[in-house]
Amino acid sequence: MQNDDESQYRGWRRPGPVPPQGIDPEPGESLDYLCGHFRIFQYEKGHRYSTDDALTAWYATQWAPRVDRAADLGSGIGSVAILSAWRLPGATFCTVEAQEMSLGLARKSIRYNGLDARFTTYLGDLRDEALLANEAPFDLVTGSPPYWPSTDATGAAHPQAVPARIEVRGTVADYAAAAARILAPGGTFVFVFANKRNQRKGVRSKVESDPPLLATSPTSNVGSLSTFDLTPRQPGEDAGVAFAEEALRSNGMVLLRRRDVIFKEGNPPMISLFAAMRATDLPPNRREAWIEPPLIIRTRTGAVHPEYAAIRISFGFPPGDVGP
């Protein structure tokens, strides 16, 4: 049997820098490992970081061409941004979060992990165009928008968790609009969204017979007009993917690649990862996205899938299914 300590967990040794620490959780908070030696402050009964957050950071840092500056929209407790910072040690980050209680936790985690010099945090609504107006453009923008309209989801037990789940301050389209506005030339927007979602009133799923759309939006600030075709849809795809892809198109962005995530082999996908760029940063004939094979989290037997085990190691987390 392995002796666990701060440097290892059941034979898996933690990679990366050891943070300065020096901050303790307050009553009602927990301090949990996030990546390598980095930890994150969370409310014990509030919104807590998830597989969705970790995969967003992994996908973003895997596919962004080059990152000096990154922004995380609707940053919550800071999980996506801190994970990305661990994987991109030379990059600086700006985060935007509307909930003061979540931002307070994020700021504690940033200090605990010794990231103060690399982070600028903003309290405010990501839809406010003035909020980042004085910042230089960003090579990478990430986001984990709420998945559900208020009419389709129940609330959460803790008030901090409600905006993380339900669209109380805009939708994925608002995230796309903000990303289009603040991206540097050739920058990448990466986000996660529900694969399954009920059709919202007034928003129709796109089908192959729809006409090409103009890459225009009053808030997109993407320059000249360009046309691009719809991403081919596969039979049985639900409205969540269609809603997210329409959010990109309506803000002048082009989907580059998408990967659906299946939490247990044999079940349908529950979330999808998206990577996009502005249409004006791509050749006009760059039309079709690469739809990757689904990522499987657990096999039919319940074991961690070998690919996901490798992905976990890549963002500084034990591979899963480690023995005693």
Nearest to 121 by CA among 142, 140, 98: 98
For the stretch 158-188, pLDDT in tens is 565 555 565 566 899 999 999 999 999 999 9
- 60 CB-side CA count, 13 A: 34
Kindly give the interhelix angle for 51-63 and 79-87, rounded to the nearest 10 degrees: 40
Q: What confidence tier does 154 reach under pLDDT thresholds 50, 70, 90?
A: low
Q: Encoding tokens for residue 294?
A: 């689904």
Matching residue, tokens 């990109």: 248
Kindly give the interhelix angle for 306-314 and 51-63, rounded to the nearest 10 degrees: 70
Architecture label for domain 47-314: 3-Layer(aba) Sandwich (3.40)
Lowest mean pLDDT among 138-152, 162-176, 256-270: 162-176
The pLDDT assigned to 143 comes to 97
The pLDDT assigned to 117 comes to 98
For the stretch 31-89, pLDDT in tens is 999 999 999 999 998 889 999 999 999 999 999 999 999 999 999 999 999 999 999 99
The pLDDT assigned to 234 comes to 47
Given a contact cutoff of 8 angstroms between Cβ atoms, the answer to whether 113 and 35 are in contact is no
Rounded Cα distance, 300 and 318, in Å:
21
- 48 CB-side CA count, 13 A: 14
pLDDT (mean) for 292-313? 97
Q: What confidence tier does 199 reach under pLDDT thresholds 50, 70, 90?
A: very low
Q: What confidence tier does 153 reach under pLDDT thresholds 50, 70, 90?
A: low
**From its phi and psi, is residue 203 left (phi > 0), alpha (psi between -120 and 50) or beta?**
beta
pLDDT (mean) for 199-228? 29
Phi, psi (rounded to 5 degrees) for 320: 95, 155
- What's this model's pTM, rounded to 2 decimal places? 0.84
Instruction: Say yes or no to pLDDT of 246 above 50.
Output: yes
